[in-house]
Amino acid sequence: MKAIIFTEYGPPEVLQLKEVEKPVPKDNEILIRIYATSVNYGDTLARNFKEITPGKFNMPFLLWFFAKIYFGFRKPKITILGSEFAGEIQSAGKEVRSFKQGDQVFGYLGQNMGAYAEYLCMPENGCVAIKPTNMTYEEAAVVPYGAIMALNLLGKVNIQPGQKVLVNGASGGIGGAAVQIARYFGAEVTGVCSTPGLELVKSLGADSAIDYTQEDFTQNGETYDLIFDVLGKSSFSRCKSSLSQNGRYLLASFKMKQLFQMLWTSMIGSKRVICAIAPGSKEDLISVKELIEAEKIKAVIDRRYPLEQIAEAHRYVEKGHKKGHVVITVEHKQNLINQEELK
Ligand SMILES: NC(=O)c1ccc[n+]([C@@H]2O[C@H](COP(=O)([O-])OP(=O)(O)OC[C@H]3O[C@@H](n4cnc5c(N)ncnc54)[C@H](OP(=O)(O)O)[C@@H]3O)[C@@H](O)[C@H]2O)c1
């Protein structure tokens, strides 16, 4: 099968299209023919991990160290990236009960990766579910990561209808999903992004959008029950006066300093710092599927690239200003044959 392999850390050029052995499912696994995958923050980070010093890593030192052990210090141990996908089940192991051949599925692989390929095997109890009926493969492939993260992290703060929520980094993968999910919880949502993302953020349901290149949301006199900072670009000290009396400052990216602030604010004062990691579970994926089918979450495809041009996609995502998602389409020889037959 075709796959994008990388055997050295480095710039996007290290991603090479190669022929590799097609995986064979174990008894408890499904073999998925992948039609679409994505490029997100984690893919670009893992591809260039040798250059990621503890200072550049958006998490505490200990997590950086574990990630180095997991991904490899000098050379990548995981050679196929891609953390989310949509496709069709080609075959299922003999113990598999919840899926069958021909099922259309989507899923999230997290740090296991492996979706930059024509085929993928995963256990039936992994983070995989039947694809939402109202999405194409391309759309379904780009939603899981951001939506699972946003749903899980927002679940830590118990948003109530009518509360005011600000999402900083609202035009990205996690932030875009957070805007939609916070709206679903009945919050009044403000999204913060740069000028080109304003319309997108409003189209996702934000009641208002702030352009961080023009306005500092910590200085506009507004207060929020929740400030969710996806990239950790703000700080608790600057946001404190923008939080309501029992306001929560939620961080998806944090260091030891913010962990100490979390501990400190849990003991003193009414405003809290919350740092959390979302592992990505099947339950969250199924909740995401239900929200998609209820039309509460939509996919925003910024750019499309074929698998062969994945280095180009990485170059774009690495700039850090994609709007929503970047999808990678995976064409199969069989599809081409079928299309030829139809002519
Ligand atoms: N806690 C967890 O479990 C967990 C899991 C996965 C990832 N993460 C963290 O999530 C982050 C990646 O999030 P993502 O995948 O959503 O990234 P993304 O899709 O690349 O989006 C990042 C967004 O941030 C915006 N942005 C850039 N600079 C900004 C600034 N100064 N102020 C406000 N917004 C700014 C960009 O919008 P503009 O173009 O408008 O600037 C962009 O749309 C990483 O830091 C990672 O460590 C946490």
pLDDT digit string, tens, across residues 48-86: 999 999 999 999 999 999 999 999 999 999 999 999 999
The answer, yes or no, to whether any atom of ligand 1 lies below 6 A from the CB of 321, is: yes
Question: Tell me, which fold does domain 146-275 have in CATH?
Answer: Rossmann fold (3.40.50)
The answer, yes or no, to whether any atom of ligand 1 lies below 6 A from the CB of 60, is: no
Question: What is the chain's mean pLDDT, rounded?
Answer: 95
Q: What is the structure's pLDDT at 333?
A: 77
The residue ranges of every structural domain in the chain are: 2-143+299-342, 146-275
What would the mean pLDDT of 280-296 be, rounded to a whole number?
97
The answer, yes or no, to whether any atom of ligand 1 lies below 6 A from the CB of 174, is: yes
CATH of the domain spanning 2-143+299-342, picked from 3.90.180.10, 3.30.1490.20, 3.40.190.10, 1.20.140.10:
3.90.180.10
pLDDT digit string, tens, across residues 217-269: 999 999 999 999 999 999 999 999 999 999 999 999 999 999 999 999 999 99
Q: Which of 39, 142, 230, 327 to mutate to test ligand 1, by most ligand atoms within 8 A of the CB atom?
A: 230
Q: Give the residue whose CA is nearest to atom 3 of ligand 1.
A: 277
Distance 169 CA to ligand 1 centre (A): 5
Length of the chain: 343
Q: What is the structure's pLDDT at 343?
A: 41
Q: 24-28, 62-66, 85-89, 330-334: which has the minimum mean pLDDT?
A: 330-334
Reported pTM: 0.94
**Which pLDDT band, with edges at 50, 70 and 90, does 177 fall under?**
very high
Q: What is the structure's pLDDT at 340?
A: 47
Q: Say which residues have a Cβ less than 8 Å from residue 89's Cβ, sequence separation at least 6.
A: 30, 31, 32, 33, 99, 100, 101, 102, 103, 105
The first and second tokens of residue 133, run together, are 């009926």
CA–CA dist 285, 330 (Å, integer): 22
Among 129, 33, 30, CA closest to 88: 33
Among 145, 139, 188, 131, CA closest to 278: 145
The answer, yes or no, to whether any atom of ligand 1 lies below 6 A from the CB of 46, is: no
Strand partners, 12: none
How distant, in Å, are the alpha carbons of 77, 103, 156, 303, 323 from that of 327? Answer: 24, 21, 29, 6, 12
The answer, yes or no, to whether any atom of ligand 1 lies below 6 A from the CB of 253, is: yes
**Pairing verdict, β 188-193 and 128-130:** unpaired
The answer, yes or no, to whether any atom of ligand 1 lies below 6 A from the CB of 110, is: no
pLDDT digit string, tens, across residues 30-52: 999 999 999 999 999 999 999 99
Q: Say which residues have a Cβ less than 8 Å from residue 187's Cβ, sequence separation at least 6.
A: 159, 160, 161, 162, 163, 164, 165, 225, 226
What would the mean pLDDT of 269-274 be, rounded to a whole number?
97
The answer, yes or no, to whether any atom of ligand 1 lies below 6 A from the CB of 231, is: yes
Q: CA triplet 125, 130, 132: central angle to 5 degrees?
A: 140
Neighbours of 220 (CB within 10 A): 11
The answer, yes or no, to whether any atom of ligand 1 lies below 6 A from the CB of 262, is: no
What would the mean pLDDT of 312-339 be, rounded to a whole number?
85
Strand partners, 327: 38, 304
DSSP 236-284: HHHHGGGEEEEEEEEESS--HHHHHHHHHHHHSSS-EEEE------HHH
**Pairing verdict, β 128-130 and 325-329:** unpaired
CA–CA dist 92, 146 (Å, integer): 28
